[in-house]
Structure 1
Amino acid sequence: MDTKKLRQKILDLAIRGKLVPQNPNDEPASVLIEKIRVEKEKLIKEKKIKRDKNESYIYRSDKSYYEKFADGSVKCINGEIPFEIADGSVKCINGEIPFEIPETWEWCRLDSLATFSGGKTPSTGNAEYWDGEVLWVTSKDMKSYDIYNTQIKLSKEGVSQMQIFPPLTILIVVRSGILRRTLPIAVLRKEATINQDLKAISLFISNLAEFFFFSLMAVEEKILTDYSKAGTTVESINFNELKKILIPIPPLQEQLKIVVSIKQCFELIDGIEQSQESLQFAVTQAKSKILDLAIRGKLVPQDPNDEPASVLLKRIKAEHPKSKKKAKNISDNSHYENLHFEIPQNWTWCENLHFEIPQNWTWCYLEDIAIDDLGKTLDKVKNRGEYYPYLRSINVRWGDVNLDDLKEMRFEDKELSQYRIKKYDLLICEGGEAGRCAVWSREDNILYQNAIHRVRFYGNINSYFYMYVLHLYNDMQILEKYSKGVTISHLTKSSLNKIPLPLPPLKEQRRIIDAFESICNNIHIILDEL
């Protein structure tokens, strides 16, 4: 279930007047808007705000919407055919009214409902401004609907030249890279100030705050699409334009009912998400168990007609230039005693790989069945040749290679074949999440850097089988035990080649992969239908 779309649907119903029934006894929104205008005039007289020269208000007449401005001019905004009034000042704006609302509702421009303020950052060179008790909201704090606390606090000296905003102020991020994906909006629950990446929206009647907050959430996609600034280094919202956006206004009593209904719906969705997370965890555990059965030879039945893995290993040795190991004798199931593997002192077979494998399987090292090479080192001073796109470890995900953010590096002609990735090469991250791996499944070739192991198998061995083996080894924390490094772990070439691997017959490798992927596909089909 797509819970994000479900939330959006609820918000969409809310701002169209379709989430809760209308009560004809509610005081209409036109009366509420008049109260807002009175409150605004009061603030103007008290010289707390300035009169807006472009001030306007919207009203309905003859099933049409009109906007009256401070200079007395009027325009029709509901998309009707343009017509003239006595002074000839009426214009029609096709389609500006986005949707129909109930009769007791009204439309307002955002700037008719509130004042707007920006923030700033005190001098970082003055220690007296920092580590105080005043909440200072930045985009990093805008991760929930309600702001009760902030990561950084300022002193009274630090905010002496800054505006302090009361609870029920609406905060919106207007400048941040996060605007590529989402529009953070929140309700301030405690007094706070803000930095320059945010705008504070102070409603003339604070009781409107929660409905107004949900109204902005409902049009998030429209704001990100229609009000983004073009040509800026950092993603930004054109707030001067956003202030003119149309907001539907229900009667106050209906607003309160809508807010309660939205919160109830969102609580149910939160429960669904928690259930989905639990289900996803169960699915992950199930996949891990299926993989565990797969590498023990218990997922599919063995076929006595398959060529034994020991024969496969001998044939590989004839073509594998670096293979030096001998095949293991497992005919008497004594391979635990006869293993020639170099086992690290900090773990034992019983802790990690103490399991039986079928008679026609064998144990091996990676270097027995494949060649492992790291890619080219990026050195802008020493690198020569033409620029080519290349893979970094960040491009290699579990089971997938992401090509969205490819960088380029210089490669000489003689290096192209050395650092070229071919179809069915297994790519393994050397650092970071060491061991994370995927199979290159594309027909076209690409180059790669030294943070990736390129494993090229011999003897038609199926690289997907060993991708899944490493996935299970990661779940079992085996890869972690072979990795080196404190801050950043590294799975070196020598360490990778010390990890014992089960080797099934070729045909069984294919049957295992088909069975595992079929089960996973069926699980996802069931999840999609929930």
Structure 2
Amino acid sequence: MTGDIVFARTGATVGKSFLIKELPFDSVYASYLIRIRVIGKLSRDYVYDFFNSKCYWNQITDKSVGVGQPNCNGSSLKELLIPVPPINEQELIIKSIKNLQLYSNIIESQQTDLKSLLLKCKSKILDLAIRGKLVSQDPNDEPASKLLERIRHEKEELIKAGKLKRDKRESVIFRGEDNSYYLRTGKLVEPLTDWSFDNLPTNWEICCFGEICNYGDCINTESSVIENSAWILDLEDIEKDTGRIISRVSKADRPSISTKHKFHKGQVLYSKLRPYLNKVVLADRDGYCTSEILPLEFHAEIIPEYARYYLMSPTFLRYADKCSYGVKMPRLGTNDGKKAIFPLPPVNEQKRIVKQIEFMFSHLSVIETSVQ
């Protein structure tokens, strides 16, 4: 009936209670519940609030028996100690709790809004960074076109020396006679309509991501030859949107028979599985990772931190989301990853961009920590 409190006496929900404030039709309660009716000068709302207090839960924990299926029967419930103030004070306590819960809900909602705002702010910072609008350009910097020429020349020399095999599906960007950018993959030529990098600084260049790193070229290692003390990185160990390592596990603590990708300190680790989770890490030590993570090695004049921030930018996220295949577990394919358009600043500007991003992110982190 209205005003009853039902109490879960067994299972994972043992101790949880519910105050029945209205019944639209005649009802019965399940056998695993205990019905409680308040008598005398005792408010049902006060008792229900007590059932949500730390004092109550400490007693329930002590009185519950059993491991797999904990139980707290009616006899144990009768022995609960409950502080009973005068009825007038009970009403004041109920009113105070309601007000505090209201304020708590407001604060929690505002915290959620602020966290969302901070995330959008970080996203905007990265968007400005890869468009040359976060730091000023220095005319004394060597143009990125020279850097790109060196990268392409060095690759050709390695191919001539037989140290590198030419990728017949390699994608290259060039300017057409109409001064527009085009993407050439083998004999296929297509306009870059999905990318808006027309207003980049004049000393920047754009190239394909596969030109400046070894995207998809991983070192596979059988789990049986990995030492027990080695770091094993899985997707669940990486916090989404931040790339923060939330758990560092060794092989001894996480036995596995699956093949791993070997990585070393300084490489960028990119999660190709569900790329919308935005899990990108700069490795701070050597280790092994799930095959769903790609260790990326960049040309010596590409700052890994800058490349990492590019992979976390809204521009790349949109591209990865568009190109991903698979419904339940979408992945970014190797060829699509290589074809991604990479905005390339001069080396010194890459360093300034990274420094500015880290400066701004550190201040945002202080704000984020203060509201948690």
TM-score grouping bracket, smaller chain normalisation: 0.7 to 0.9
What does residue 81 of structure 2 align with? 246
2:205 to 354, 362, 373: 362
Q: Report the 3-state secondary structure (helix = DSSP H, G, I; strand = E; otherwise coil) of the residue aligned with 2:134.
A: coil
2:100 to 260, 265, 281: 265
- Any conservation in 1 of the 2:305–2:354 contact (CA below 8 Å)? yes
C-alpha distance in structure 2 between counterparts of 1:386 and 1:290, whole Å: 39
2:129 to 253, 277, 294: 294
What does residue 515 of structure 1 align with? 356
Deviations 1:443-472 (A, max 9, x none): 3x2211222222122215233323322222
C-alpha distance in structure 2 between counterparts of 1:243 and 1:404, whole Å: 46
What does residue 218 of structure 1 align with? 53
What does residue 276 of structure 1 align with? 111
Give the count of matched residue pairs: 344
Deviations 1:276-335 (A, max 9, x none): 3333333222222222111100100112233332333333342684676698678xx999
RMSD over aligned Cα atoms:
4.1
What does residue 175 of structure 1 align with? 11
Deviation at 1:370, TM superposition (A): 1.2
Deviation at 1:426, TM superposition (A): 1.8
C-alpha distance in structure 2 between counterparts of 1:408 and 1:249, whole Å: 54
Deviation at 1:267, TM superposition (A): 1.3
**CA distance 1:266–1:522, shift in 2 (3 Å):** same
What does residue 432 of structure 1 align with? 274
Q: Percent identity?
A: 23
**CA distance 1:326–1:366, shift in 2 (3 Å):** closer
Deviation at 1:250, TM superposition (A): 1.5
2:11 aligned partner, one-letter code: R
What does residue 187 of structure 1 align with? 19
1:458 aligned partner, one-letter code: H
- Any conservation in 2 of the 1:309–1:506 contact (CA below 8 Å)? yes
What does residue 485 of structure 1 align with? 326
> Could you tell me the TM-score, scaled by structure 2's length?
0.75
**CA distance 1:458–1:262, shift in 2 (3 Å):** same
Deviations 1:85-123 (A, max 9, x none): xxxxxxxxxxxxxxxxxxxxxxxxxxxxxxxxxxxxxxx
Deviations 1:154-213 (A, max 9, x none): xxxxxxxxxxx765314458533x99xxx85543444463485xx545144396332223
Matches within 5 A, 1:255-404: 255-317=90-152, 318=154, 321=164, 337-340=180-183, 349=192, 352-373=195-216, 384-385=224-225, 388=228, 390-397=232-239, 398=241, 399-403=243-247
**CA distance 1:302–1:474, shift in 2 (3 Å):** closer
C-alpha distance in structure 2 between counterparts of 1:205 and 1:433, whole Å: 58
What does residue 161 of structure 2 align with? none
Deviation at 1:390, TM superposition (A): 2.6
C-alpha distance in structure 2 between counterparts of 1:437 and 1:502, whole Å: 20
1:408 aligned partner, one-letter code: P
Q: Report the 3-state secondary structure (helix = DSSP H, G, I; strand = E; otherwise coil) of the residue aligned with 2:98.
A: helix
**CA distance 1:283–1:385, shift in 2 (3 Å):** closer
Matches within 5 A, 1:141-180: 167-172=3-8, 175-176=11-12
C-alpha distance in structure 1 between counterparts of 2:8 and 2:49, whole Å: 12
**CA distance 1:369–1:254, shift in 2 (3 Å):** same
- Any conservation in 2 of the 1:341–1:500 contact (CA below 8 Å)? no
Question: Which runs of 5 or more residues in structure 1 are unaligned?
Answer: 1-164
C-alpha distance in structure 1 between counterparts of 2:211 and 2:289, whole Å: 23
Matches within 5 A, 1:459-470: 459-470=300-311
Q: Report the 3-state secondary structure (helix = DSSP H, G, I; strand = E; otherwise coil) of the residue aligned with 1:340.
A: strand
Q: Report the 3-state secondary structure (helix = DSSP H, G, I; strand = E; otherwise coil) of the residue aligned with 2:348.
A: helix
Task: Confirm or deny that 1:408 pairs with 2:255.
Answer: yes
Deviation at 1:500, TM superposition (A): 0.9
- Any conservation in 1 of the 2:238–2:279 contact (CA below 8 Å)? yes
Q: Report the 3-state secondary structure (helix = DSSP H, G, I; strand = E; otherwise coil) of the residue aligned with 1:316.
A: helix
C-alpha distance in structure 2 between counterparts of 1:377 and 1:423, whole Å: 17
**CA distance 1:524–1:435, shift in 2 (3 Å):** closer
More displaced stretch, 497-506 vs 398-407: 398-407
1:422 to 247, 255, 264: 264
> Could you tell me the TM-score, scaled by structure 1's length?
0.55
- Any conservation in 2 of the 1:439–1:463 contact (CA below 8 Å)? no
- Any conservation in 2 of the 1:474–1:480 contact (CA below 8 Å)? no
1:390 aligned partner, one-letter code: I
C-alpha distance in structure 1 between counterparts of 2:120 and 2:62, whole Å: 44
1:452 to 290, 293, 297: 293
Deviation at 1:403, TM superposition (A): 2.0
C-alpha distance in structure 1 between counterparts of 2:365 and 2:65, whole Å: 40
Deviation at 1:353, TM superposition (A): 2.9
**CA distance 1:458–1:167, shift in 2 (3 Å):** farther
**CA distance 1:263–1:509, shift in 2 (3 Å):** same
What does residue 205 of structure 1 align with? 39
- Any conservation in 1 of the 2:310–2:316 contact (CA below 8 Å)? no
**CA distance 1:328–1:476, shift in 2 (3 Å):** closer
1:501 aligned partner, one-letter code: F
- Any conservation in 2 of the 1:323–1:368 contact (CA below 8 Å)? no
